Amino acid sequence: MSTLLNLPKYIESVVNPSQLKGMSNDELAGLCASLRHDLIDSVSKTGGHLASNLGIVEITVALHKVFETPKDKLIWDVGHQAYIHKMLTGRKERFNTLRQYKGLSGFCTPVESEHDAFLAGHSSTSISLAVGMAIARDQQKQKHKVVAIIGDGGLTGGMALEALNHLGHIQKDVVIVLNDNEMSISENLGGFSQYMKRIKETFFYKDIKEKLDLIEDGLERERLQAGVWELISSVKKEAKARIETPGIVFEKLGINYTGPVDGHDVKAVVEAFSRVKELKGPQLVHVITQKGKGYAPAEADSIKYHGVGAFTPEKVEPAQVAKESKAKTKTYSHVFSETLIRIAEEQEDLLAITPATAEGSGLVQFGKVFPERFFDVAICEQHAATMAAGMAKSGMLPVLSIYSTFLQRAMDQVIHDVGILNLPVIFGIDRGGLVEDGETHQGVFDIAYMRAIPNMRVFAPKDGRELQNMLYTVCKERSGPAAIRFPRDKALNVDSEWPLEEIDLSKWETLVEGDGPVLLAFGSMVDVALSSATELAEQGVKVQVVNARSAKPLDHEMLNGILKNADRKVITLEEGCLTGGFGTAVLEYAASLKLKTPSQRLADVVCIGIADHFVEHGSRSKLLDLNGLSSTKVSEKVLNFLS
């Protein structure tokens, strides 16, 4: 049992961050302990991001001690490490609703609190926002502070580096707090992070230098053997050189560097923030923290505790958690990654790429089996896509596993570097559809924007087996770029022993025959359509259910047969935005047929999908129903369409 659960609960009395102002360093340290207690308690019940929030307790407390929200602007990168911030800014009572439908968001959002200066969910945005807000502040002749809090992972994102570069040029008063926990979601990668690692070694050098100072003080030079004094001096000099310019890269870019600071020494962090608060120009405070700090299982395995479901804090053992999660039904991510390993055994030029989602995508396992053929490029979606294009141009078969919402970052690269040359880059679009993380993470736009790219093909499997065969087929065919999207959910109908088979991807298949309306269902909606067909049959409506596995190209042959019957009704179903999505593809095709055969009346086509709004957070099943994509809701719409 974690001893933390026995810590005092100072937090009960903190309802407003201004209460921190009068606290002593000891009281702040006590508050930190108390916050850790409550955090573990809460997250164990609701699930959520644990390790990163445990790591940032002292930083958060120090920020609220030194700065004054909402006047001063705290901009949290990604936002999933702002739980402590939320607890300190009047949201502790509602913390048990975290990530629940209509409950607290798992990220920052100004809709929830004036203490959240901006919304975040995706990484690497905070410095750009801070620059924008600092420019606005100066235009408006205001005096408040603007603070971006970003992790070492976030700093690998190109847009954060763009912003750093711009800030170094315009020299606005912005404080950047770099929360360096030596590990972003996946293993921390990049030359930059190795540089940061070397900075941290200054702790070590400082130590050496101080010890040598003591030795020198205690010795008399004359009595030493020849050379020893020189040796000591030379080591000292070397150590000194290394500690003198730890932040030289930042300094060279025009950003004043402070640090490194021990991020679990609240006094040290408060002092560092207080100091930079008074300085002009761009400031970066480099704070070293440990993910999962204060909770042994999370310290030991911060990746597992990055985002967790509910658990029992008293009993939990890392090994146990691992066993439980393995016993669960496979997700589509698992099916994708394990199938990729099987294909890679056969196709030796297959390379797997992930932008910092090795765990979420299940590709960690691929990396273990094929370490030389696995590339986690950090939070660099743009680089990932274009690097894949370079690989494909050189005759390799790159497979990029990427979440739908993050692929938005690489749209230009998919068009410009992959699309134009029609290169065989395979995109495994994970979390395609609704997710519980809220509006920043909904994977609803991918069908629309991928479909608009010439040469791109867009597929979605109806179940786990089809995902296996789809992936196998695109890897065998290698005929230009292809995207396979799948939802964040348990996979239906799958067995990892099943043989991999090539399938005709551009052909749709009728799963249920019927003389009523035709349901053209894409990917995850096939199962919904099947349930709806059963429900409708009970009402005497016999729908035809089609597994429309390819949104691009469409199965023109089957569509021609369906559309030419003017008395038929056609209903498209997709877990994606209605604007420009799969249903739209069917409408566009029908309209093009009219241009060819103007006199012909075609079947009426209507589309069911996600309306033109941002979808809030909640469980996937809840959100599907709210957005009209549960079987009940689909059945209702079909009956309404017929009446």
* Binding positions for a copy of itself, 205-234, rule CB under 8 A: none
Q: How many Cβ atoms sit within 10 Å of the Cβ of residue 436?
A: 19
- Alpha-carbon Rg for the chain, nearest whole angstrom, is 28
Tell me the CB-side half-sphere exposure of residue 544, using CA atoms within 13 A.
Answer: 19
Q: Measured at the alpha carbon of residue 285, what is the angle toward residues 283 and 289, in degrees to the nearest 5?
A: 160
- If binding is defined by CB under 8 A, does position 141 make contact with a copy of itself? no
**Binding residue for a copy of itself, selected from 39, 66, 129, 340, defined by CB under 8 A:** 129
3-state class of 520 per DSSP?
strand
Is 409 designated active site? yes
- If binding is defined by CB under 8 A, does position 369 make contact with a copy of itself? no
Pairing state between β 350-354 and 397-403: parallel
Tell me the CB-side half-sphere exposure of residue 21, using CA atoms within 13 A.
Answer: 7
- Across 602-614, b (16+ Cβ under 10 Å) vs e yields bbebebbbbeeee
- If binding is defined by CB under 8 A, does position 431 make contact with a copy of itself? no
Is 291 designated active site? yes
Tell the smallest beta-carbon distance from residue 332 to a copy of itself (Å). Answer: 23
> What is the distance between the alpha carbons of residues 302 and 234, in angstroms, rounded to a whole number?
40
Residue 220 is encoded by which pair of tokens? 């008399």
Give the DSSP H/E element, type plus range, for residue 354.
strand 350-354
When the beta carbons of 136 and 219 are compared against a copy of itself, the nearer one is 136
Tell me the CB-side half-sphere exposure of residue 221, using CA atoms within 13 A.
Answer: 6
- If binding is defined by CB under 8 A, does position 279 make contact with a copy of itself? no
Could you say which residues in the range 64-123 bind a copy of itself, by CB under 8 A? 75, 110-111, 117-119, 121-122
Question: Rounded to an integer, what is the distance from CA 496 to the centroid of its chain?
Answer: 27
**Selection from 164, 165, 143, 150 nearest residue 280 by Cα:** 143
Is 488 designated active site? no
The residue from 58, 182, 359, 381 that is catalytic is: 381
**Selection from 550, 560, 542, 635 nearest residue 603 by Cα:** 560
Backbone φ and ψ of 427, nearest 5°: -105, 115
> What is the distance between the alpha carbons of residues 122 and 185, in angstroms, rounded to a whole number?
13
Segment contacting a copy of itself (CB under 8 A): 51-59, 81-89, 401-409, 429-437?
401-409
Residue 590 is encoded by which pair of tokens? 């029908």
When the beta carbons of 108 and 335 are compared against a copy of itself, the nearer one is 108
Could you say which residues in the range 502-541 bind a copy of itself, by CB under 8 A? none
Give the DSSP H/E element, type plus range, for residue 635.
helix 631-642
When the beta carbons of 8 and 553 are compared against a copy of itself, the nearer one is 553
**Binding residue for a copy of itself, selected from 261, 577, 624, 634, defined by CB under 8 A:** 577
3-state class of 374 per DSSP?
strand
When the beta carbons of 229 and 641 are compared against a copy of itself, the nearer one is 641
Count interface residues toward a copy of itself (CB under 8 A): 122
3-state class of 608 per DSSP?
strand
When the beta carbons of 11 and 411 are compared against a copy of itself, the nearer one is 411
When the beta carbons of 389 and 562 are compared against a copy of itself, the nearer one is 389
**Binding residue for a copy of itself, selected from 263, 292, 297, 419, defined by CB under 8 A:** 419
Segment contacting a copy of itself (CB under 8 A): 56-64, 87-95, 189-197, 272-280?
189-197
**Binding residue for a copy of itself, selected from 584, 627, 631, 635, defined by CB under 8 A:** 584
Q: Amino acid identity, residue 129?
A: L
Adjacent-strand bridge partners of 577: 610
The residue from 86, 291, 293, 465 that is catalytic is: 291
Tell the smallest beta-carbon distance from residue 298 to a copy of itself (Å). Answer: 26
The residue from 409, 451, 457, 465 that is catalytic is: 409
Q: How many Cβ atoms sit within 10 Å of the Cβ of residue 539?
A: 11
**Binding residue for a copy of itself, selected from 243, 253, 511, 537, defined by CB under 8 A:** 253
Tell the smallest beta-carbon distance from residue 152 to a copy of itself (Å). Answer: 11
- If binding is defined by CB under 8 A, does position 192 make contact with a copy of itself? yes
139 CB burial (10 A radius; 0-12, 13-18, 19+): exposed
When the beta carbons of 14 and 117 are compared against a copy of itself, the nearer one is 117
Going residue by residue from 329 to 368, which x/- string records binding to a copy of itself, judged by CB under 8 A?
Answer: --------------------x-x-----------------
**Binding residue for a copy of itself, selected from 3, 165, 534, 565, defined by CB under 8 A:** 165
When the beta carbons of 319 and 591 are compared against a copy of itself, the nearer one is 591
3-state class of 262 per DSSP?
strand
> What is the distance between the alpha carbons of residues 617 and 104, in angstroms, rounded to a whole number?
9
- If binding is defined by CB under 8 A, does position 420 make contact with a copy of itself? yes
When the beta carbons of 529 and 585 are compared against a copy of itself, the nearer one is 585
- If binding is defined by CB under 8 A, does position 139 make contact with a copy of itself? yes
- If binding is defined by CB under 8 A, does position 582 make contact with a copy of itself? no
**Binding residue for a copy of itself, selected from 6, 13, 24, 140, defined by CB under 8 A:** 140
Q: What is the residue whose two structure tokens read 């979606």? A: 381
- If binding is defined by CB under 8 A, does position 383 make contact with a copy of itself? yes
- If binding is defined by CB under 8 A, does position 378 make contact with a copy of itself? yes
Residue 436 near residue 463 (C-beta atoms within 8 A): no
**Binding residue for a copy of itself, selected from 388, 491, 494, 528, defined by CB under 8 A:** 388
- If binding is defined by CB under 8 A, does position 272 make contact with a copy of itself? no
Going residue by residue from 454 to 493, which x/- string records binding to a copy of itself, judged by CB under 8 A?
Answer: xx--------------------------------------
> What is the distance between the alpha carbons of residues 224 and 221, in angstroms, rounded to a whole number?
6
> What is the distance between the alpha carbons of residues 582 and 569, in angstroms, rounded to a whole number?
17
Residues identified as active-site: 291, 381, 409
